[in-house]
Structure formats: C-alpha cells, structure tokens
Amino acid sequence: MQNLMNPFRFEDENFEWHWYDLYSSKTAIIGDKHISNKIPFLEKICDTLYEIDNKSLFWIGDVRPGNLETSDQFNMLEFESQPAERNVKNGHFEETRMTFVQLYFEALCIKKGVARSEFIPLASYRRHQEGPLNGYLRAINSLQDSEEKEWLLAELKELETITWNYKRGYVYEIKEVGSPVDLLIEYLKGIWSYWALTSSLAEPQQMLLVVDIPKVLTEMDTNADIKRIISSLLGIIVQLSEIITMSVIISTETMFPVPELNIRHQLYLPYSSNDFSWQQEENQQFFNSDVIEAWSTNNNPSCGIWIDFATGEKITITDTNKILFKKGVEIESVIE
C-alpha cells in the first residue's frame, strides 16, 4: 500500500493530485470521448497504479484494451442470501444494501414500462438470516404463474453470473446493449457487485475505481428516472470512498450528475454537452480564459482546467498528456 502513496503531477504546472488522500479521493473528469484525450489520460493513470500494485485498480465502463487473463463470476443472489454481519446490521451497510435492491427493481420497471406497484410484489425479509433481495425473490416465486413472473425470474437469474474480467486490473466491461435502460442495468450490476466485493475484503487495500459513464445515460433528453438512478448509484460509490481506502474517478461526458455528487476535485477537458455548454458566453466565466481559447481556437484535446471546489482554485492544465507519478518519472502507457 505504501508504494501507492505518491501523487500524480502535471509537469508544466507543477500541480499535484494527492489521489489517495481522503480529502482528494473523489474526482470527476468531464470530457467528450471523441474530442478530448480523456480515455488515454485515464488509461495512463490506470496503467501506472496497476504496475505498482496489481490489486489496486477497478474499472466499470467500456471494454478496455489488453489481454484477458482471467474471468470471475460474482453471484449476487448468493451474496444476498447471507445476512449482514451482526455489527453492521441496521447501519449504513444495511441501508445501502436495501437501496441497491430498490434501484434494481425501479430499473426493471422502467425496462418493462410498468408502474412498480403493478409489477413488483410487496415483500419482507428475515434480516438475521438473509439480505432484502431474498425477500423479494421469495415473494415473486409465490406469485401465480404468468408471463410477468417468468420475465422477472429470468432477470433475477442474470444476477447469478456478474462477470468481472482481470485485464491489467479488475474490469467490469460493458458492451453494447439494446437501449439506455439496458445500459443502466449493466452499470447497476457493475457498481452493485463492486460494492458487495469491497464489503468482504479481509486485508487493507488502497484501490482506485474508475466509473466511465456514457452520454446516453446523462444527457438532457435522457429519461429522468434513468438519470435519477445513475446519479444515486454514483452517489453510493462517492460515499464509499469516505468509508474504505478507496479513491474514485467519475468520468462523464456531461455536467450532470457531477454537481449533485458534491465532488471536490473536477477536471474539465473538451466536452460537448448542452446541460452546461462552455460555448455559451454566459458560462465561459466558469472556466479560465486560456482554456476557452485552447478549446475554441486551437481545438486542443488535452488542455483542461482543474477546479478545487473546496478552495475555489482553478488551475489550467496545458497538456494533460504530461502526467507524472512518483519522483517525476513520466508515465508510459504499456498497452498497445
């Protein structure tokens, strides 16, 4: 763990990001996947930490480059069949556990296009014997046979095989799916299983989790319920960084839901989003003038602005490609 306790530094600005520190452990990066260097920038950070400690990196998002080494299946139904440890019952763990279950069923109702009250039966669970999902599973199994019951059981069965790949870090890779709500459910399963995995860690471990969210889940015309659920999921992960030795990077292409998450450190790279367009004159005072010039005149994909919302400091990062780690050694990406 000690080997990870070094900051990232941007060479030209001599600015350090103490990513492992509690007060700097939550960071948002807002940048378009196509017009900025956000993804190569994230890959550099991930590669660096992986090389120092191959258990430190977790990724939820698009398929990452590199060779697949192993795959593990996480069984959420099995996890939910177990009660919470005695010392965490009725606490934050139990509340979060129930929140995930409720968000999951809300997402299924959006997918099915029905009101929850007409689709999901009321349920109770034996807190000293199981998790809340088990109570709902029992209630669904007790329903009369129908197409709706069969559909629900088929969706629940998919929770038995949540796949995490090991590809230069632990990766929950989300491939193309049919609709925004299907994509939402994939992110829900990735975030839910990561949260469950961290609840059973036996040894202290400094981790970095990168959650890369596509624009289709956060843009202005996205279904409001989908946006609410993805914001709630990211909020759980941001709060988790205050409980365990975990740092998190929330990567988005839009301003939403970053302000709602109350993230202290935010890096803005070139982005294209109407929810807070940097191209509108009334919004440009939010950014440094040299950043606006780099984006509008020079089309510079690697220029960004780092904002510390605790101090109000706004730092222009002329070239985010020039990121260093530990005694000023420049990071070299090893993935071809």
Token output for 227: 């946006």
Percent of the chain residues past pLDDT 70, beyond the cut: 94
pLDDT greater than 50 at residue 172:
yes
Domain stops at, among 138, 160, 182 = 160
Provide the pLDDT for residue 84.
77
The SS3 call for residue 205 is: coil
45 with 185, same domain? yes
Q: How many other CB atoms are there within 10 angstroms of residue 26's CB atom? A: 24
pLDDT greater than 90 at residue 183:
yes
pLDDT greater than 70 at residue 1:
no
Q: In the beta sheet, which residues pair with residue 211?
A: 60, 250
pLDDT greater than 70 at residue 86:
no
Domain stops at, among 142, 160, 178 = 160
Provide the pLDDT for residue 13.
81
Q: Specify if 336 maps to a domain.
A: no
Using one digit for the tens of pLDDT, what is the confidence trace for 270-299? 999 999 999 999 999 999 999 999 999 999
Q: What are phi and psi of 144, to 5 degrees?
A: -65, 150
208 with 322, same domain? yes
Token output for 65: 């480059």
With CA atoms as reference, report the closest residue to 114 among 138, 147, 139.
147
Using one digit for the tens of pLDDT, what is the confidence trace for 116-141? 999 999 988 887 888 899 999 999 99
Amino acid at 305: I
CA dihedral 46, 50, 53, 56 (to 10 degrees): 50
277 with 312, same domain? yes
Q: How many domains does the chain have?
A: 2
Q: Specify if 119 maps to a domain.
A: yes
pLDDT greater than 70 at residue 155:
yes
Quick one: average pLDDT of 165-171? 94
Token output for 324: 């260093």
Token output for 122: 């009321």
170 with 229, same domain? yes
170 with 139, same domain? no
Helix axes 180-198, 92-112, angle to 10 degrees: 160
Provide the pLDDT for residue 90.
53
Q: Look at 252 and 82; give whichever has higher pLDDT.
A: 252
Domain stops at, among 137, 160, 183 = 160
* Structural domain containing residue 81: 76-160
Q: Specify if 324 maps to a domain.
A: yes
Using alpha carbons only, what angle is made at residue 261 by residues 310 and 15, rounded to the nearest 5 degrees?
Answer: 40
